[in-house]
Amino acid sequence: MTLTDAWQAYMDVLRDCAPVTAAAVRAPRVLAEREAAEGATASWPEELREFFSLHDGHAFRSEDDEFLGEILPGVELLSLEQVVTRHKLCREMLHPIDYLGPDWPATVRSQHAGETAEMFVPAYIPFAEDGAGDFLYVDTREGEQQGCIRYFAAEAADEGGPLFGSLTEYVDSVRRSVESGDEHSYLVPSVTEGVLAWDVDFSDRPPLPPQPDPTPLHLPFPLSDFQPSLITADDDLVDLDVVRAAVLDTARSLHPGAEVQGGEVVFRRVPRQRGVTMNSVVQVDGDPRFYLTIVTGVGNEVLVHELPPGGFTFIVDN
């Protein structure tokens, strides 16, 4: 089976069961534009060239903001412009998740497709993303697994091996899932009024026990958001070692006599911006407890609170 065969078979299924979603697949761009996109990223294998000769992504919503469905489970199929934009952003911000020594760049350059680089490398070509910074990509590096499909996570980079051996295999697996109604990528397909959606299946899970109400937490200033992928070492950053020490001190004060370990935050860089929040996990006598840390914007000072079972509801005092 060729990729074109797999794609056409899937489109036939969509036109039959989810015509609204099928109609939102954009027509492919002309060859010159596809070649320009390749030139702006990295050399594409033939299958990836074939892939974008079949479409130019999928419109997730209409101009009137009407939901048109999801052609792929949990991700939006990208247009050529979106591929180039995502690739450029990732080249500028490599998402390294570990410092593995001065020889690691040379190690990455010698790797083959399917191997973990702990960062973004230019040979990764995104083709679908989830809207939260994670995306599917084709690993175009040389090797037996060239062209395999992998998942890139904003906080875990390229950890984890290939999900599918090729675009053909991936597209065919999605078609079979839509036809059968079986789970794909932890999501189950459903069609309503011609629109294909993918949702988590909770049908076989026991009902959750009643949850306690959130605990009111009074704050002297509002919380603010930040995007970890946009932070660089040149920004004004909080010293995370100082933050970890504050978290551990708070845990020890709340649990005197207990063995307290951990306390690292999930981010590698955090701006010294008032209201920015971080979460930490602390092992207290072997049991995990979660701590909310709030940057005050003054030096490395932070506010630290152990999360109660029901979480917090935030109240900003005037």
Above pLDDT 70, what percent of the chain?
97
Looking at the domain assignment, is residue 52 inside a domain? Answer: yes
In this structure, are 95 and 12 located in the same domain? yes
Co-location of 139 and 283 in the same domain: no
CA atoms of 86 and 82, how far apart (whole Å): 6
Strands (E) across 215-311 are located at 215-219, 260-265, 277-284, 287-295, 302-306
Residue 288 shares a structural domain with residue 264: yes
Judgement on whether residues 15 and 76 belong to the same structural domain of the protein: yes
In this structure, the answer to whether residues 192 and 223 fall within a common structural domain is: no
What would the pLDDT profile of 193-221 be if each residue is shown by its tens digit? 999 999 988 766 677 678 788 999 999 99
297-310 pLDDT, tens digit each = 999 999 999 999 88
pLDDT of 48: 97
Q: Does residue 243 sit in the same domain as residue 219?
A: yes
> DSSP for 292-311?
EEEE-SSTT-EEEEEPPTT-
Same domain, 83 and 167: yes
Together in a domain, 23 and 157: yes
Give tens-digit pLDDT for 63-73.
888 999 999 99
Question: pLDDT tens-digit profile of 103-153?
Answer: 777 788 889 999 988 889 999 999 999 988 899 999 999 999 999 999 999
Whether residue 152 is found in the same domain as residue 292: no
Tokens of residue 56, six digits: 């130019």
Cβ(8)–Cβ(59) under 8 Å? no
- pLDDT exceeds cutoff 80 at 259: yes
Q: Which domain holds residue 181?
A: 3-199
Number of domains the chain is built from: 2
At residue 208, the pLDDT reads: 67
* Structural domain includes residue 230: yes
CATH of the domain at 45: 3.40.1580.10
